[in-house]
Structure 1
Amino acid sequence: MSDTGQESMTRREIGNWWSTGVIRIAPGEIEPRGYPVQELIGQASFVDTVWLMLRGELPDPRQSRLLEAALVAAVDHGPQAPSIAAARMAATCGVGLNSAVATGVNLLGDVHGGAGQQCVELLERMAALRAGGAPVDRVAADEVAGYRARGEYVPGFGHRFHPRDPRRDPLLGLVGEAVEEGVVPGGPLESALALEAALSEGRARPVPMNVDGATAVVYASLGFPAELARGLFVLSRSVGILAHAWEEHGSGARIKGPLPRSVLAEYTGPPTRHVPADRRA
């Protein structure tokens, strides 16, 4: 093989190593999913572009509206959220803004930030059972009974702070409208409402959906895989994390810890004691 042929093969091999269907880049050309970026600018919203990058096509405006509502709903929940508090503390420690944001984002795991993904997985599991002919109320009751038997929380329901999450009703209302218009299927909403009813049965105080459950209904209805539900939550919450990190950055505070300086953590170890004399140098 000639040197020119060998060089051509090497270039193809290198190009194939990072081959992607997400974007085409060439000198003077940028095409996310095949669309020239200059045509997207001013014509597609940021949410449209999120959909395009993840799904490969531009969304219907009604799909875009529903996705945007879910992203707006989960933007922030104040410094009592660990991801927000951590970002604010990091911002007072001399790190850059990007590091402060990364600190908050890195706290979004299975317990704090993962319930939306887990709820979509639950809705997908219920959909499979319903496809086999099981009635939704029975499926929901069985799922709730299973979580209770394992001593686990049903992901996406109840809130430690809000008796009724104020984000639930508007999100589910938009999903209901989209179902009526034929934009999305009704299965995820029906399953989630059945879970809510099963959780509240026999209780004086109901257990309504929280933002994780309501956004899970949105993401499942729009056909996003469960793992992307967490990714979309991270994208949304990153905005709140950024805002809090920037505010704290401007406060002038230094080394802000989890407790005010006047408050000390309660000590639960042994009382004050002294090193035995025979161990002293």
Structure 2
Amino acid sequence: MSTTTDHGDERVPTTASPQELVDEARRWWQTDIIDVRPGEISLRGYPIQELIGNVGFVDTIWLMLRGELPSRAQAALFEAALVASVDHGPAAPSIAIARMATTCGAPVNSAMASAINVLDDVHGGPGQQCMELYLEIDAELRRVGHLDDMVHLDEATRLVLQRHRDAGVRYFPGFGHRFHPLDPRTPRLLSLVDAAAAEGVVNGRFAAIGRAVEDAISEGRPKRIPMNVDGVTAIIYCELGLTPEQGRGVFILARSVGILAHAVEQMTQGGRIKGPMPKSIGYTYTGPARRPLPNDLDR
């Protein structure tokens, strides 16, 4: 049987047997995540019917991302971070967009997609960026051979922060908040990390790194720049071994719950074509003053 095979931009004719074509099709997608056969479904090797009713949703998220089920303590810390990120009100652009979309007639899937699409580097990315910062400091400690010696933490932290400042960075994600003088989620989550570290559930290394960053960026300032929810959930996700990309992904999962709740609430409340502010308030126009159209329109 004649077919073609891709080689870069070229399609080269080949001859393959029916079985070879079946084998090629089976190799097209490869996954360690799920195995689906007629009458059978397994996630990471566990039959779905055994997971249902015995394993929680948070455990299942962990299983899908990490490949194994978490311990109860790991799942509890992971869940705490997810709960903290669920919602921050209509002032958050993603939530506002979900609500506005429904007033334009969008169904729930479109409203949620519109909101999730703005969870990008500025609105949805600081947690991931903060994880990357913590991991860079951790890598600096390891580079100089201080794998478990946190005495050199302040030095490594200042070195990495200065490296970022030299590159033009003036804002460090995960610290400070435009609304909260002290993010109410941070102390509670940090206390849970400390308790988990005391019990040996996590190492506590990234909690120390996060606190060192807060100390360093607050140094010499009249007011301390406190860690926010992105900074503390970044600690948790680093402690639990998630990658920065997974960290952003689970933040989006958590915030999707708030997005859904607000979209459905707005559908219940009704309203048509609601913009980001009431029509009575208007906006600031900065263009030319009102002027007549010239009589001579020869342009």
TM-score grouping bracket, smaller chain normalisation: over 0.9
Alignment of 1:194-273 (within 5 A): 194-273=212-291
Give the Cα–Cα distance (whole angstroms) in 2 for the partners of residues 128 and 141 of structure 1. 14
Checking the alignment, whether the CA contact within 8 Å between 2:175 and 2:214 is kept in structure 1 is yes
Amino acid corresponding to residue 184 of structure 2 in structure 1: P
Match of 1:122 among 112, 119, 133: 133
Checking the alignment, whether the CA contact within 8 Å between 1:147 and 1:153 is kept in structure 2 is no
Give the Cα–Cα distance (whole angstroms) in 2 for the partners of residues 251 and 130 of structure 1. 54
Checking the alignment, whether the CA contact within 8 Å between 2:136 and 2:160 is kept in structure 1 is no
Q: 1:92 aligns to what?
A: 103
Q: 2:90 aligns to what?
A: 79
Amino acid corresponding to residue 183 of structure 1 in structure 2: V
Where is the strand percentage greater, Structure 1 or Structure 2? 2
SS in 1 for 2:36: strand
Is it true that 1:68 corresponds to 2:79 in the alignment?
A: yes
> What is the CA-CA distance between 1:147 and the residue it aligns to?
4.2
> What is the CA-CA distance between 1:199 and the residue it aligns to?
1.7
Give the Cα–Cα distance (whole angstroms) in 2 for the partners of residues 102 and 263 of structure 1. 28
Q: TM-score, normalised by structure 1?
A: 0.95
Checking the alignment, whether the CA contact within 8 Å between 1:91 and 1:97 is kept in structure 2 is yes
> What is the CA-CA distance between 1:223 and the residue it aligns to?
0.5
Amino acid corresponding to residue 119 of structure 1 in structure 2: C
Amino acid corresponding to residue 172 of structure 1 in structure 2: L
Q: 2:153 aligns to what?
A: 136
Identity over aligned pairs, percent: 54
Q: 2:67 aligns to what?
A: 56
Match of 1:37 among 48, 51, 68: 48
> What is the CA-CA distance between 1:144 and the residue it aligns to?
3.5
Checking the alignment, whether the CA contact within 8 Å between 2:186 and 2:229 is kept in structure 1 is yes
> What is the CA-CA distance between 1:197 and the residue it aligns to?
1.0
Q: TM-score, normalised by structure 2?
A: 0.89
Q: 2:20 aligns to what?
A: 9
> What is the CA-CA distance between 1:146 and the residue it aligns to?
4.0
Q: 2:5 aligns to what?
A: none
Is it true that 1:104 corresponds to 2:149 in the alignment?
A: no
Q: 2:9 aligns to what?
A: none
Q: 2:7 aligns to what?
A: none
Is it true that 1:157 corresponds to 2:175 in the alignment?
A: yes
> What is the CA-CA distance between 1:151 and the residue it aligns to?
4.3
Consecutive unaligned residues in structure 2, runs of 5 or more: 2-15, 147-151
Give the Cα–Cα distance (whole angstroms) in 1 for the partners of residues 190 and 223 of structure 2. 20
Amino acid corresponding to residue 31 of structure 2 in structure 1: T
* CA displacement 1:32-79 (0-9 Å, x = unmatched): 111000100111100000000011110111111111001000000001
> What is the CA-CA distance between 1:148 and the residue it aligns to?
4.4
SS in 2 for 1:278: coil
* CA displacement 1:200-257 (0-9 Å, x = unmatched): 2222211111000000000000010111111111011000011111111111101110
Give the Cα–Cα distance (whole angstroms) in 1 for the partners of residues 277 and 180 of structure 2. 24
Checking the alignment, whether the CA contact within 8 Å between 1:63 and 1:183 is kept in structure 2 is yes
Checking the alignment, whether the CA contact within 8 Å between 1:136 and 1:194 is kept in structure 2 is yes
Match of 2:209 among 191, 194, 197: 191
Checking the alignment, whether the CA contact within 8 Å between 1:158 and 1:207 is kept in structure 2 is yes
